[in-house]
Structure 1
Amino acid sequence: MKKQYNKLVRDGVPQIIIESGRQCKTRTLSDQEYKEALLTKIVEEVEEFRTSNSEEELADIYEVLDSLIEFLQYEPMHIDYLKMKKKENRGSFKDRIFLEDVVE
């Protein structure tokens, strides 16, 4: 029985499938396809985390973000710097503030 996935998977998944005695069809994505697949994967992993609250799913989110940062050739330390600057200027989310409305 064939099951369609059509999604980005970790590099070791095809080998795991083959070692389990199954067959799989894969292809290498173009740059644009890869970027879109990474963005789709982030949403998928966030949704999985929302339902499971699992540290493992949170780790998956980090892995996808790391892959996106590397693909876009962003400097991880610069991303950390931007995060720190935003935190200094606007704060973090630790106080759990939920903005309901603003009157102009």
Structure 2
Amino acid sequence: MPRIYDKLVRDEIPTVVEANGERPITHVANDEEYDRRLLAKLEEECAEYREDRSLDELADVLEVVRACCVQEGWSVEELEERRREKAAERGGFGAGVVLEAVVESQSQSRSGEN
């Protein structure tokens, strides 16, 4: 009885399966399927990192992010540049700031009254 996975895997996984004496059943996804499965893989890897919190799991998240860049036609360098720009504009996440709410200023609430 085959074990069913039905998910995107790293390119060398079929070779690993064969090295274990088993026969992988695979296909190469078309663009639409690949895009859908890549997003599902990103969610899967993020969930695994949330559970495990290991460097290996975080590396898996990064590998999927890199694949997402390629799929969208961006380079990893472009991603890093955009990350730096956003960090310069809005900061990073190192300080642990939690935004609980935003209260309208009095001038904003009055400008809406007619």
TM-score (norm 2): 0.86
**Is residue 19 of structure 1 aligned with residue 16 of structure 2?**
no
Larger RCO (CA within 8 A; separation ≥ 6): 1
Structure 1 unaligned runs (5+)? none
SS of corresponding position for 1:61:
helix
What's the CA shift for 1:74? 0.5
2:90 maps to 90
Matches within 5 A, 1:37-48: 37-48=37-48
1:69 maps to 69
2:107 maps to none
Identity %: 35
Query: Which stretch shifts more, 37-46 or 16-25?
Result: 16-25
Structure 2 unaligned runs (5+)? 105-114
| Runs of 4+ residues over 4 Å off in structure 1 | none
1:5 maps to 5
- Which structure would you say has the larger Rg? 2
One-letter identity of the residue aligned with 1:13: I
What's the CA shift for 1:20? 1.1
What's the CA shift for 1:17? 0.9
What whole-Å deviation, never above 9, does each CA across 1:49-94 have from its counterpart, x for those lacking one? 1111110000001111111111222022222111111111101111
What RMSD over aligned residues (CA atoms) do the two structures have, in Å?
Answer: 1.0
TM-score (norm 1): 0.94
Query: Which stretch shifts more, 62-71 or 74-83?
Result: 74-83
